[in-house]
Amino acid sequence: MEIAAAGKKHIDYALPAAAFLYGKTVGEIKLEKSNRFRSIKQNKSDFRPLEGSGKGSKRPAANVSKKTEQEKRSSQRYRTQQTVKPQQQCPYYKKCGGCQLQNLDYPQQLSYKQHLVEKLLRGYGPVQPIIGMENPLHYRNKVSAAFSTDRNGRTISGVYQSSTHRIVPVDRCMIEDQIADEIIVTIRKLLKSFRIEPYNEYREYGLLRHVLIKRGFATGEVMVVLVTASPIFPAKNRFVQALREKHPEIVTVVQNINSGFTSMVLGEQEKILYGKGYIEDILCGCRFRISAKSFYQINPVQTQRLYSSAISLAELTGNETVLDAYCGIGTIGLIASSKAGQVIGVELNRDAVRDAISNAKCNQIQNIRFFCDDAGDFMVQMAQNRQKVDVVFMDPPRAGSDEAFLQSVATLRPEKVVYISCNPETLARDLKSITRKGYQVKHIQPVDMFPFTSHVETVVLLSKLNTKQHIVEE
C-alpha cells in the first residue's frame, strides 16, 4: 500500500501484548456534587476527594459509620488488594494537594472512579469493572522537583502546592519512585558543598530550577535532568561525578536550560553532561528509548494492562492495517505490530517521531512506518486517496479530541476505533460526537493509572455501523 504523504519522511521498517487484567467488582456508591467537592456518600458516611490544600481549605473528615451486611459482602471483593490508609502514611497530604483522593482507602478510590465512569458513560452500555493495582504505591517512574529557598535561606526541594507557586518541601512521596526521591535529596545536599544556589525567578538570581528524574522500571536505568537558568554550570563534571558516586544506577545526566519566566519545567536547549542522553525501558516486551522530552506513561505496571486491554479489544488477526494516531514515541503501534499486517504511526512532535523511528529500529520491527503530520489531516488525505485502514488507535491528551479530528476518523471509516482516554468527561463528549457519525460503542474498560488522584483512564471500543441511517447529519 502506498500512502500519499508527499514531502514527509517515513520508515518502512512487534510483540504479543501480555493479556492479564485485574478486574475488580465494586460496591454500590452514590455520586453527588457539592459546591467544591464531588462527594461520595455511602451509608451516610461522607468520603470526599481532597481539592486544594493548605490553610483555609475545607477538608471534610472521612467519618466511617458501621457497615451494613451488604457493604461487608462488597468489601470482601477487595481483599486481594492492599488497603492503604494514606492519612497514616503521607505527611504531606494536608499541604500538597497532588493526590485528591487521600482520604479514601484504595478500594473506595476504585469504587469512586468506577461510578464516575458509569455516571458519565452509562448511556453507551455497561462499564466493565475497573482494573486496579495490587500495590498502588511508588508507581511513578517520572519524578520532578522544584528547587528554592525557604525564609531562613535554606535550600528546599519539593512540589508546587495545588493551584499555587509555593513549594511544599518533600523528601519522600508515597506515589513516586523511591530511588528518584533519594537522588533528589542527594542533589539538594550537593548544592551546598558545590555552592550552587537555587534559582529565584523574581530576583533572577541562582542556577538550579528543577530536577527531573526518569527511571526504567524494567531496566533499572536512571536519567537525571538538571534544569538550570543559565547554560554556565560551574564544576559540572565534578558535580556529576559526586552524584554518580552516590547513585551508580544513573546512566545519563542532561542539563536543560530554561531561562524564561515561565511555568514550564523544560526549556528548548539541552546539553548531555554524562552518558547517551537517554535511557531505555521495556514495556510489553518492546524496548523503548526515553529522552528528557519524550512522553512515556508514568505507571508502567498499569500501562501494560491498559495497552493489553486496548490491543485485545481490537481483535487483530495479523492482516489489518492499523493507524496509531497521537502515536508519540510509538508505544501502542510497536506493541500492536506483531498482531497486525502493517502499522502507521502519526505524530506532530518531531522529537517524538525521531524516538519512534529509533524504537522501531531497536526492536527490529519492519511493518511500521511513522509520519510527522497532523493525524486528522493525514486521515483525510488517506480517505481522499481511497486508502483503507481497519483499526484506528487514538490516545488524545486530557482535553480530548476536537471535532475536526473526529470528523477525519468518520471520513476514513475504519472498521474499529479504540479510544484510550485519560479524562472521562471529554471522552463522554467525544463519544457523543462519534456515535452520531456511524459508530457504536461495544466495550468500556476503565483502568486506574493514577492511584490516590482523581484521574482515571478508560479504553472504549467502537465499531462501524454498516448502514447510512445511523449517521446523523450535523
Contact, 49 vs 104, CB < 8 A? yes
According to DSSP, the residues that pair with 55 across neighbouring strands are none
Helix axes 178-193, 236-246, angle to 10 degrees: 140
DSSP letter (8 states) at residue 124: G
Q: How far apart are CA 345 and CA 329, in angstroms?
A: 9
| Biggest CA pair distance of the chain | 73
Q: Where are the alpha helices (DSSP H) in 272-391?
A: 300-314, 331-336, 350-362, 375-384
Q: What is the DSSP string of 391-414?
A: EEEE---TT---HHHHHHHHHH--
Instruction: Judge whether 284 counts as a catalytic residue.
Output: no
> Could you give the 3-state DSSP secondary structure of residue 192?
helix
Contact, 50 vs 100, CB < 8 A? yes
- Please state, as a whole number, how many other Cβ atoms lie within 10 Å of the Cβ of residue 10: 17
- Please state, as a whole number, how many other Cβ atoms lie within 10 Å of the Cβ of residue 458: 26
DSSP letter (8 states) at residue 154: -
Element (H, E) at 238: helix 236-246
Q: How far apart are CA 351 and CA 270, in angstroms?
A: 13
Element (H, E) at 46: strand 45-47
Name which of 399, 403, 406, 460 is nearest 438 in CA terms: 406
SS3 percent helix, strand, coil of the chain, rounded to 5, is 30, 25, 45
From the candidates 96, 173, 284, 422, give the one annotated as an active-site residue: 422
In order of 122, 130, 403, 441, 461, the CA distances from 125 in angstroms are 6, 15, 23, 7, 11
Q: How far apart are CA 289 and CA 127, in angstroms?
A: 35
Contact, 15 vs 23, CB < 8 A? no
Q: 404 CB contacts (<8 Å, ≥6 apart)?
A: 376
The catalytic residues are 422
